[in-house]
Structure 1
């Protein structure tokens, strides 16, 4: 059973979440996990001047490889309550796969990062899920069996629609221990559900 964690990360927050989700998914026996990212659209000079993290280890994904996976977990920071342009550009290229029904029945899930607690986490996650539904994917979230989702004693991410983190207005806050544990739980849940589906085929 193969899971792709497909992400875009400007400053490294989503990259860190992707690694935590991968750790959780890999804890499910028989689960192979690949981490890849979508291409950057900013010119390199602009990205460098913006402080973007350009030294990310994950290789660049291609649209054509998506049908190879049983599950695809998509990570994107928010841009005004929706996914980043880099991820939207990548998903906009899946028309051929849509026409072929190539992703129908695959498991899809999402995660995100925002600058503030109310900066569009849920709208970003839900609007990204809409794309996956159009592709015929089976959506899996991050259920409340993960009890950290109900904690309110500290600033933290986490929603039933998918795991998340809060970066801070200047991007200085990296995912907390709780954020990363929720992400691991999220990855483990997606992999477990996917494994059940694959075994039932």
Structure 2
């Protein structure tokens, strides 16, 4: 049995949609309990983006999702982070949440928990790999155990088509204008990531 937490940040809904598939994959593993929680948006961003209909609609869809807390991290045996790219690394909203968890770092409460990352970018070379790799650094400081997405479980990665998928974690393309939706193959890979983390977290927690 394992508790799987999926904390995510999503401005336009792409990461939120991926989070649903990650959760579905984790739930397919017997004895797994899953929670999806969102990283709180900055008030300044809400105000600045209030004139963008796509942003407003995406935020309204996520309105009922519970806001992530440190207690959620304590509850989890495995944590799968939904982190969109901002210039090749995590957005400030996610960084602030991790920065605020210094007490958990100091106490070592997250050490030994399984973790992974899924992401979204505007273009094929917009930071799918760098976002995951750079976001891994603070997770290692917390003592989390990182799980990737190997080619043996994810043959869709071996393609020249413009879809997501990396050995570092699941990913999707939002498109330069954010109008693209996750390809079904991206969602499939996201589900496999959820299942992989849930299986490993279950073995370690038992």
TM-score relative to the length of structure 2: 0.93
The whole-number CA distance in structure 1 between the counterparts of 2:43 and 2:168 is 29
Work out whether 1:170 is the aligned partner of 2:177. yes
Match of 1:30 in 2: 31
The whole-number CA distance in structure 2 between the counterparts of 1:48 and 1:126 is 31
- TM-superposed deviation, 1:197: 1.0
The whole-number CA distance in structure 1 between the counterparts of 2:65 and 2:24 is 15
Match of 2:156 in 1: 148
**Is the Cα contact below 8 Å between 2:5 and 2:72 reproduced in 1?**
no
- TM-superposed deviation, 1:42: 3.9
Q: 2:59 aligns with which of 54, 57, 61?
A: 54
Match of 2:116 in 1: 109
Any gaps of 5 or more consecutive residues in structure 1?
Answer: none
- TM-superposed deviation, 1:109: 0.6
Work out whether 1:130 is the aligned partner of 2:106. no
The whole-number CA distance in structure 1 between the counterparts of 2:80 and 2:72 is 14
Give the aligned length.
Answer: 198
Work out whether 1:119 is the aligned partner of 2:120. no
1:99-158 CA-to-partner distances (Å, cap 9, x unmatched) read: 000000011110100000000111100111111100001101111121111132x31001
- TM-superposed deviation, 1:37: 0.5
What's the secondary structure of 1:3's corresponding residue? strand
Work out whether 1:85 is the aligned partner of 2:92. yes
Any gaps of 5 or more consecutive residues in structure 2?
Answer: none
The whole-number CA distance in structure 1 between the counterparts of 2:134 and 2:49 is 26
TM-score relative to the length of structure 1: 0.95
Match of 1:72 in 2: 79
Match of 2:19 in 1: 18
Q: Which runs of 4+ in 1 moved over 4 A?
A: none
Aligned CA RMSD, in angstroms, stands at: 1.1
Work out whether 1:139 is the aligned partner of 2:151. no
**Is the Cα contact below 8 Å between 2:115 and 2:146 reproduced in 1?**
yes
The whole-number CA distance in structure 1 between the counterparts of 2:47 and 2:139 is 33
